[in-house]
Amino acid sequence: MSAYLFATFVAFILNFALIFPFIHLLYRIKMQRRVQTTKDAFNNTTPIFDRLHNHKQGTPVGGGILVIVTTVLLYAAFLIAAFIFKKPMQANYPAFGSEIKIILFTFIGFALLGVYDDLSKMFRWEQTHFFGLRLRHKLILETILALVASYWLFMELKIDIMHVPFFGVYNLGWWYIPFATFVIVAFSNAVNITDGLDGLSSGVLMIALVAYWAIARSIIDMPTALFVGIWLGGLVAFLYFNIYPARIMLGDSGALSFGATFAVIGLVLGKAFALPMIGGVFVLEITTSLLQLLSKKFRKKKLFKVAPFHLYLQNRGWEEPKIVMRLWLLAILFALCGLMVAFM
């Protein structure tokens, strides 16, 4: 156990040391948030969102890139060290390499999509026909990446069941692939939607990852526990600079990658039913956004004054740190409920 905590500590120190020059680099290449006219899925402007968030203009965007790069490099280094020094690493699956491959593919694949999306926003590529990445195009690419990960989960790790406490185990067969794809895409966008206030998505994710680490340790899935520990260390270092007022933002590169990987790890751990509970704040955020969009589409009027949930509270006059702190507390309650369900 001490080795995994050491990995978390190393990840924290490395990210904390590198984030200072990384922020300066983002300033130099002008990777900063710009004043923009935000639009929803139906191409309608969102003036309330723009009014409440335009003060963040100039803040560097892309903090997730640093966490992703350091996590991947440190994970590889610790795996190689374990191999060289012949330290056995127990896993729940015979396909030891496949488990690692699926997690890293999701982590890096969604990150690359997010990097492109960040660049298109920063440098106004979305205003051109060639470079622009529309919402439907992004969803298609997300679905393709999620399908690949889901197919590997089903074919290589042989995961095709879901345990529902008090009701038993259900074999989904081939239906597991579309189910897992939906979960991965949903959480990828849920974390992205939640990433609207300083420290909100990264803090909620930190709490959820602690729950994941506890689950991975309890079932002795060491490759996943090691990855979560390293990721957690980097995330804590990032959060130090992301809390209000943020000196750096996560960006789509981090949000899309972190959300998708969060879902994949939940599936790898075999805790699909506990997944939406542990990530309950993310579910709340994307559900309010979805209900708002459906209401505007079919009822031709808004269900809420504004969505998602954190924006609704902000529009009601709640201060940003107050919203973030209380949603962190809610995330702790969700994580405890998820752990209770996971261990049933």
Instruction: Determine the pLDDT at residue 131.
Output: 40
Instruction: Determine the pLDDT at residue 37.
Output: 57
Instruction: Determine the pLDDT at residue 214.
Output: 95
Residues 44-86: pLDDT tens digits?
666 776 677 777 888 999 999 999 999 999 999 999 998 898 8
Q: Give residue 58's region: left, alpha or beta (phi > 0; psi -120 to 50).
A: left
Instruction: Determine the pLDDT at residue 32.
Output: 84
Instruction: Determine the pLDDT at residue 39.
Output: 57
340/111 Cα distance (integer angstroms): 31
H-helix segments, the chain: 2-28, 47-53, 63-84, 96-122, 135-155, 176-194, 200-218, 222-242, 251-268, 275-278, 280-298, 309-315, 320-342
Instruction: Determine the pLDDT at residue 46.
Output: 65
Residues 309-339: pLDDT tens digits?
999 999 999 999 999 999 999 999 999 999 9
266/228 Cα distance (integer angstroms): 11
Task: Give 130's DSSP letter.
Answer: T
Is this model's pTM higher than 0.85 or not? yes
**Exposed/middle/buried for 184, CB within 10 Å: 0-12, 13-18, 19+?**
buried
Instruction: Determine the pLDDT at residue 52.
Output: 74
Task: Give 39's DSSP letter.
Answer: B
Q: Give residue 300's region: left, alpha or beta (phi > 0; psi -120 to 50).
A: left
Q: What residue has token string 């190689």? A: 80
Extract the residue ranges of the chain whose pLDDT is less than 50: 127-132
Instruction: Determine the pLDDT at residue 36.
Output: 61
Instruction: Determine the pLDDT at residue 2.
Output: 76
